[in-house]
């Protein structure tokens, strides 16, 4: 008999459920015969990569909703990708807890601002945040940009504002960040590879 | 990694040193288990702690933290003295026969050219002898006392088993047992892999530790072979990618480097980096530097980068010195930095000496945090009691906290330690109003650009001309960006041998970096990633895991840089005649019938260069061979030498007891005020070291409920002897102090940390996991980096987190 992996789980789940009921002395009547459906049967599967260490384990993210425009995707399960040549379906204690990372109560949800000397955060719109940050950066750059050094050599650098990039961000984010930082003349620029 | 995770299954021997893969990289470690089970491979672990890797090893040797160069120097001495080296390999594929300049010298721990005031070297004597023909002078008989082989032999003859035991605290029989096991892999058909991580990088001479390991591997002929190599187990999911893309203060994409102030002339800048071959018939692939550089500048500045303006060379910022993280926090502390952006980086927790970092951040005018999580850095200004005792009213920094997406909420690629670029897909929308990092960076940049367009300002040209051809300018897509770094033809690219033959048509994606040109007809944002997205599509998204040779290469799974090669230097797995040293583990071989190299991997070599032509395997080096003698590439000397950590329990370097200059790394940079922050052994007698637990990922997982449950409370580990001496019982609360602050944690008393006999004294180690802080779901704790010293490796400035001095007392 040809059984797919997903069918295999369904059979297992059904088998364990029904046999233990019998063992407990319940002779299931007709109404009790249906066991709970395998929880991933109706989820959408998305392939992704573990964001923690650099083994680069493949993961399968299961979410409710079919990714239709009006359907809200809710991630409800994450497991190792059995097709992945490196992790072959396994995950470590970190990867196994990824669902709790996605749904951490400490996820930031909206932009916040802390004024000088203040003891608290206040909400700020994205637009106001971008505008204010750009203003602060431009004022600092215009004031402190070094076009030429003491010897009169062209150096075009801006070192009074710095940046740390994220080594868990994607190549695409990293590339864009690199482009922007150098176009501004930034040198005080590193990522976690430095530490 | 020179090799890759699955390739570990092809090895005969695994040396884990400076890492703890079973704990920190569990799913990669399974390939060690695979090698043990199916190849009868052995595992050796050398570590100050009996780690989880050690627990499943065949042999464990203890070592004092920070003494790995002495240990490996002893291994080199053993291999050379006992003639346990791969003769043909070292004679042909390394600089064994090269002659070193007569001026080069080494006296009592210091190399020629040292300037003690500047703590740096004039490296002009650190080089090979160059003949009238422009090539290095060699002595194939290896008899000349100035040849690298003879000089190396003399240098490491001082690292006797007795010296190793005295410095490292490793019992002599254990050290010799390791040497014997390693030596077996000098046989041409045996290989060893070295797996290391931050246990080697986080020292004030970490780069030299890694070099010493690489030298051992070269002596044994294990570089380039299946199951061999130097395998850096990197810490973050895309730390390899961000390094490759050059997001470090001194780098451009693809390991190109930014110019220094003195490099005003574009042609001279290129010539200095486009190394001419130093031996006849060698490839010296960096000769193509100009093609990589021009293609990057065309990707960044489009039509504004022209031959007339040297492809906008002057628009790149020039370096007057390094601007690594430690230097930047030093500048910040001196009030020279006004603004800082932290994109998914938590420096308050992950940089050394919290008091200095916290004080520096408080001097900023503005701080921008871009992160999916509420980090400690974002609240450095907030009073969190004993864990962050600051007065917000006194901190005048404006702080922005911008919510970004996490892995599950974006498309894109990450580069694993195996150098494999893997694409991932978005599964859901981010919570609340969070935005993707690309959209956030675009939001800031486009407003800046608007201001410069409207009002002008300091040197706006690169800002106004940065290419931004995105269909949705406010949200550049991952696909667009990936295609840009992979590369495209602007005009038809033709075959240099036959200009009538068009290789790639204008507008098409490139197949790889061999198609890059230096006349402005190609763009490529990162040459080593070239071909990742070709006309065939997104190769990073490939999911064919077939392994036709059974070697684990899976060439059709995603895309590895460079050119989809899975094992670097694989030409060195064959003898000079082109036959594999071990035919049962063939990576590539020369096929005389087709006149090409081929096999289970993509050749890391000129594919049609026949063995008789004498081109050597290390094509990125102008010598064509691997270097034992590092010429002028390292800050502290061409041969690694043992120095003590900046904070050492010993009064002197046992290798140079009478030379105070050679006690610690003579080339390590120390900022003036930081000298006073270093502790002395009379007050802080124990070696402190930091590490990670398998349940934790740096400072993230304290926000993750499952992991917060698994390891709920901060602890430190001490050995039984120290516990007895200090009257500390398991479960007691202890205060661990360094000269920079203290932490309080629960004591775990364990046999895993043993007392070592070093240079006539007993040395105890206090082991401290990092993770805890004042934000998150886990019980609050102290930031472990409160204790660590503000000094880094002399080459990379990676902080010395692995070896410093502490004291401990029961609370």
Q: Each residue of A74-115: pLDDT tens digit?
A: 999 999 999 999 999 999 999 999 999 999 999 999 999 999
CA distances from B457 to A134, B705, B764 (A): 13, 48, 58
Query: A75–B428: do the CB atoms touch at under 8 Å?
Result: yes
Distance from CA of A104 to the nearest CA of B (A): 6
Query: B242–A174: do the CB atoms touch at under 8 Å?
Result: yes
User: Is residue A19 scored above 60 in pLDDT?
Assistant: no
For chain B, list residues with pLDDT below 50.
none
How far, in Å, CA of B383 to CA of B379, rounded? 8
Q: Are B264 and A154 in contact (CB under 8 A)?
A: yes
Question: DSSP assignment, residue B258?
Answer: P
Query: A104–B395: do the CB atoms touch at under 8 Å?
Result: no
Residue of A nearest to B378 (CA): A114
Q: Can you say whether the dihedral through the CA atoms of A21, A23, A29, A33 is positive or negative?
A: positive
Q: Are A95 and A80 in contact (CB under 8 A)?
A: yes
Query: A156–B710: do the CB atoms touch at under 8 Å?
Result: no
H-run or E-run covering B590: strand B588-591
Distance from CA of A127 to the nearest CA of B (A): 8
User: Is residue A11 scored above 50 in pLDDT?
Assistant: no
The confidence band for A8, taking pLDDT boundaries of 50, 70 and 90, is: very low
Query: B236–A168: do the CB atoms touch at under 8 Å?
Result: yes
Contact pairs from chain A to chain B, CB under 8 Å: 486
Kindly list the structural domains of chain B, giving each domain's residue range(s) and its CATH number in brackets, ordered by start: 6-235 (3.40.228.10), 668-810 (2.40.40.20)
Q: Which two tokens stand for residue A161?
A: 């504002």
Question: DSSP assignment, residue B87?
Answer: H
How high is the ipTM of this complex? 0.98
- Pick the more confident residue, A16 or B452: B452
Look at residue A21 in the predicted model and tell me its pLDDT: 43
Distance from CA of A9 to the nearest CA of B (A): 22
User: Is residue A24 scored above 70 in pLDDT?
Assistant: no
Residue of B nearest to A68 (CA): B428
Look at residue A22 in the predicted model and tell me its pLDDT: 44
Question: DSSP assignment, residue B251?
Answer: E
Burial level of A101, CB count in 10 A (0-12/13-18/19+)? buried
3-class state of residue B580 by DSSP: strand
Give the closest residue to A144 by CA, choosing from B666, B530, B768, B337: B337
Residue of B nearest to A115 (CA): B398
Q: At what angle are helices B437-455 and A126-144 packed, to 10 degrees?
A: 50
* Cα pseudo-dihedral A43, A45, A48, A51, rounded to 10: 20
Q: Are B270 and B290 in contact (CB under 8 A)?
A: yes
CA distances from B346 to A53, B24, B322, B376, B400 (A): 16, 20, 21, 7, 14
Which of A56, A98, A100 is the closest to B414 by Cβ?
A56
Sort out which chain A residues have CB atoms less than 8 A from B382's CB and list them: 119
Look at residue A33 in the predicted model and tell me its pLDDT: 63
Sort out which chain B residues have CB atoms less than 8 A from A61's CB and list them: 408, 427-428
Q: Which of A47, A51, A54 to mutate to test the interface with B (most CBs of B within 10 A)?
A: A54
Give the closest residue to B301 by CA, choosing from A188, A137, A180, A189: A180
User: Is residue A25 scored above 80 in pLDDT?
Assistant: no
Which of A57, A113, A138 is the closest to B457 by Cβ?
A138
Q: Which of left, alpha, beta for B507 (phi over 0: left; psi -120 to 50: alpha)?
A: left
**Contact partners, residue A5, CB within 8 Å, separation at least 6:** A82
Sort out which chain A residues have CB atoms less than 8 A from B526's CB and list them: 175
Query: B345–A136: do the CB atoms touch at under 8 Å?
Result: no
The confidence band for A66, taking pLDDT boundaries of 50, 70 and 90, is: confident
Residues facing residue B590 across a β-bridge: B597
Query: A112–B401: do the CB atoms touch at under 8 Å?
Result: yes
Query: B318–A138: do the CB atoms touch at under 8 Å?
Result: no
Q: Are B233 and B18 in contact (CB under 8 A)?
A: no
Question: DSSP assignment, residue B136?
Answer: B
* Neighbour tally for B36: CB within 10 Å: 18
Sort out which chain A residues have CB atoms less than 8 A from B375's CB and list them: none
* Neighbour tally for B209: CB within 10 Å: 27
Which of A136, A179, A188 is the closest to B337 by Cβ?
A188
Look at residue A67 in the predicted model and tell me its pLDDT: 80
Query: A50–B340: do the CB atoms touch at under 8 Å?
Result: no
Q: What is the pTM of this model?
A: 0.95
Query: B350–A192: do the CB atoms touch at under 8 Å?
Result: yes
Which of B398, B402, B413 is the closest to A116 by Cβ?
B398
H-run or E-run covering B32: helix B26-39
Domain A39-107 in CATH 3.30.200.210: yes
CA distances from B263 to A86, A98, B250, B309, B320 (A): 44, 48, 14, 15, 10
User: Is residue A27 scored above 60 in pLDDT?
Assistant: no
Sort out which chain A residues have CB atoms less than 8 A from B324's CB and list them: 190, 194
Burial level of A76, CB count in 10 A (0-12/13-18/19+)? middle
How far, in Å, CA of B557 to CA of B536, rounded? 14
Query: B701–A97: do the CB atoms touch at under 8 Å?
Result: yes
**Concatenated DSSP letters of B388-410:** S---GGG---EEEEEEB--GGG-
Query: B478–A172: do the CB atoms touch at under 8 Å?
Result: yes
Residue of B nearest to A48 (CA): B424
First to last CA, chain A: 54
Which of B262, B412, B462 is the closest to A170 by Cβ?
B412
Sort out which chain A residues have CB atoms less than 8 A from B399's CB and list them: 113-114
Question: DSSP assignment, residue B549?
Answer: T
Which of B30, B399, B557 is the closest to A90 by Cβ?
B30
Burial level of A151, CB count in 10 A (0-12/13-18/19+)? exposed
Q: Which two tokens stand for residue A40?
A: 């991933």
How far, in Å, CA of B723 to CA of B227, rounded? 42
Sort out which chain A residues have CB atoms less than 8 A from B701's CB and list them: 94, 97, 101
- Domain residue limits, chain A: 1-38, 39-107, 112-194
- Pick the more confident residue, B238 or A26: B238
**Contact partners, residue B382, CB within 8 Å, separation at least 6:** A119, B388, B390, B392
Query: B324–A194: do the CB atoms touch at under 8 Å?
Result: yes
Q: Are B667 and B120 in contact (CB under 8 A)?
A: yes
Look at residue A39 in the predicted model and tell me its pLDDT: 87
Half-sphere exposure of A15 (CA within 13 A, CB side): 6
Q: Which of A85, A117, A154 to mutate to test the interface with B (most CBs of B within 10 A)?
A: A85
**Contact partners, residue B132, CB within 8 Å, separation at least 6:** none
| ∠ Cα B796 B417 B430 (to 5°) | 100
Look at residue A15 in the predicted model and tell me its pLDDT: 45
Q: How many residues belong to chain B? A: 811
Q: 3-state SS string over B347-373?
A: HHHHCCCHHHHHHHHCCCCEEEEEECE
Q: Which of B301, B374, B418, B458 to mutate to test the interface with A (most CBs of A within 10 A)?
A: B458
* Neighbour tally for B131: CB within 10 Å: 11
How far, in Å, CA of B642 to CA of B664, rounded? 9
Q: Are B114 and B666 in contact (CB under 8 A)?
A: yes
Query: A194–B796: do the CB atoms touch at under 8 Å?
Result: yes
Contacts of B117-122 with CB under 8 Å at 24 or more apart are B119/B666, B119/B667, B119/B668, B119/B669, B119/B670, B120/B635, B120/B667, B121/B635, B121/B636, B121/B637, B121/B667
3-class state of residue B774 by DSSP: coil
């Amino acid at each position: 008999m040809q059984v797919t992996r997903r069918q295999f789980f369904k059979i297992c789940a059904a088998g364990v459920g029904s046999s233990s009921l019998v063992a407990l002395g319940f002779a299931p009547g007709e109404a009790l015969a249906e066991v709970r459906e395998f929880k991933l049967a109706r989820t959408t599967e998305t392939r992704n990569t573990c964001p923690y260490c650099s083994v680069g384990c493949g993961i399968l993210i299961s979410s409710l909703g079919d990714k239709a425009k009006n359907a809200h995707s809710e991630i409800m399960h994450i497991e190792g990708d059995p097709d992945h040549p490196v992790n072959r379906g396994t995950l470590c204690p970190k990867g196994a807890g990824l669902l709790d990372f996605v749904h951490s109560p400490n996820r930031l949800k909206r932009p916040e601002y802390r004024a000088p000397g203040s003891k608290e955060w206040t909400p700020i719109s994205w637009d106001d945040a971008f505008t204010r940050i750009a203003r602060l950066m431009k004022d600092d750059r215009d004031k402190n940009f070094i076009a030429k050094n003491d010897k009169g050599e062209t150096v075009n650098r801006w070192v009074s504002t710095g940046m740390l990039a994220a080594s868990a961000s994607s190549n695409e984010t990293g590339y864009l960040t690199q482009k922007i930082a150098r176009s501004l003349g930034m040198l005080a620029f590193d990522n976690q590879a430095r530490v | 990694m020179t090799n890759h995770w699955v390739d570990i299954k092809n090895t005969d021997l695994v040396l884990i040193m400076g890492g703890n893969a079973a704990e920190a990289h569990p799913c990669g470690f399974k390939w060690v288990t695979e090698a043990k089970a199916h190849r009868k491979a052995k595992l050796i672990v050398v570590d100050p702690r009996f780690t989880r890797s050690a627990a499943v090893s065949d042999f464990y040797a203890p070592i004092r933290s920070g003494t790995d160069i002495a240990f490996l120097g002893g291994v080199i001495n053993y291999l050379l003295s006992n003639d346990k080296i791969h003769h043909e390999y070292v004679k042909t594929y390394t600089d064994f026969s090269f002659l070193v300049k007569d001026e080069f010298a080494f006296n009592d721990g210091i190399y020629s050219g040292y300037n003690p005031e500047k703590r740096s070297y004039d490296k002009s004597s650190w080089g090979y002898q160059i003949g009238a023909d422009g090539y290095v002078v060699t002595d194939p008989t290896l008899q000349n006392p100035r040849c690298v082989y003879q000089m190396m032999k003399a240098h490491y003859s001082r690292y006797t088993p007795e010296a190793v035991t005295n410095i490292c605290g490793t019992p002599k029989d254990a050290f010799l047992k390791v040497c014997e096991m390693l030596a077996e892999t000098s046989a041409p058909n045996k290989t060893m892999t070295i797996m290391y991580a931050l246990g080697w990088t986080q020292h004030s001479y970490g780069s030299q530790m890694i070099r010493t390991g690489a030298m051992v591997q070269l002596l044994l002929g294990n570089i380039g072979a299946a199951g061999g190599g130097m395998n850096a187990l990197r810490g973050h999911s895309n730390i390899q990618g961000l390094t490759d893309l050059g997001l470090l203060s001194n780098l451009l994409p693809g390991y190109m480097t930014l110019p220094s102030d003195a490099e005003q002339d574009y042609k001279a800048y290129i010539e200095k980096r486009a190394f001419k071959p130093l031996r006849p018939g060698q490839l010296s692939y960096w000769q193509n530097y100009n093609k990589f550089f021009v293609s990057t500048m065309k990707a960044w500045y489009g039509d504004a980068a022209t031959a007339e303006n040297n492809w906008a060379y002057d628009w790149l910022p020039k370096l007057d010195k390094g601007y690594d993280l430690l230097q930047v926090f030093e500048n910040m502390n001196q009030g020279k930095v006004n603004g800082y952006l932290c994109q998914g980086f938590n420096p308050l927790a992950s940089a050394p000496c919290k008091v200095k970092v916290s004080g520096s951040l408080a001097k900023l005018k503005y701080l921008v945090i871009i992160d999916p999580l509420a980090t400690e850095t974002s609240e450095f200004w907030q009073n969190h009691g004993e864990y962050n005792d600051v007065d917000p009213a006194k901190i005048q920094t404006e702080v922005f906290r911008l919510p970004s997406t996490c892995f599950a909420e974006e498309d894109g690629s990450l580069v694993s330690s195996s150098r494999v670029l893997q694409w991932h897909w978005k599964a859901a929308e981010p919570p609340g109003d969070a935005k993707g990092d690309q959209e956030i960076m675009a939001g800031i940049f486009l407003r800046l650009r608007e201001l410069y367009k409207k009002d002008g300002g300091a040197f706006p040209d690169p800002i106004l001309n940065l290419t931004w051809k995105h269909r949705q300018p406010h949200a550049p897509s991952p696909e667009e960006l990936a295609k840009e770094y992979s590369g495209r033809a602007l005009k038809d690219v033709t075959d240099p041998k036959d200009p009538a033959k068009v290789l790639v048509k204008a507008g098409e994606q490139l197949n790889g970096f061999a198609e890059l040109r230096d006349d402005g007809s190609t763009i490529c944002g990162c040459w080593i990633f070239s071909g990742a997205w070709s006309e065939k599509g997104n190769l990073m998204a490939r999911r064919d895991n077939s392994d036709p040779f059974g070697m684990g290469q899976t060439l059709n799974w995603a895309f590895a840089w460079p050119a989809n090669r899975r094992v670097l230097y694989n030409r060195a797995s064959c003898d000079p005649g082109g036959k594999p040293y071990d035919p049962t583990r063939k990576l590539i071989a020369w096929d005389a019938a087709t006149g090409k190299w081929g096999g289970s991997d993509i050749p890391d070599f000129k594919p049609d260069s026949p063995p008789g032509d004498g081109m050597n395997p290390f094509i990125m080096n102008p010598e064509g061979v691997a270097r034992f003698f590092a010429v002028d590439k390292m800050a502290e000397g061409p041969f690694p030498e043992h120095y003590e950590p900046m904070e050492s329990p010993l009064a002197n370097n046992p290798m140079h007891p009478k030379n105070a200059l050679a006690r610690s790394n003579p080339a390590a940079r120390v900022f003036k005020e930081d000298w006073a922050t270093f502790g002395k052994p009379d007050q802080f007698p124990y070696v402190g070291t930091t590490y990670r637990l398998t349940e934790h990922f740096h400072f993230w997982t304290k926000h993750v409920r499952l992991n917060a449950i698994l390891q709920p409370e901060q602890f430190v580990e001490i050995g039984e002897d120290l516990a007895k001496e200090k009257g500390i019982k398991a479960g007691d609360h202890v205060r661990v102090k360094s000269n920079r602050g203290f932490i309080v944690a629960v004591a775990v008393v364990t046999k895993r940390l043993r007392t070592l006999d070093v240079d006539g004294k007993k040395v105890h180690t206090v082991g401290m996991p990092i993770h805890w802080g004042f934000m998150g779901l886990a019980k609050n704790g102290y930031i472990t980096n409160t204790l660590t010293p503000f000094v880094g490796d002399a080459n990379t400035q990676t902080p010395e987190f692995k070896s410093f001095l502490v004291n401990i007392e029961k609370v």
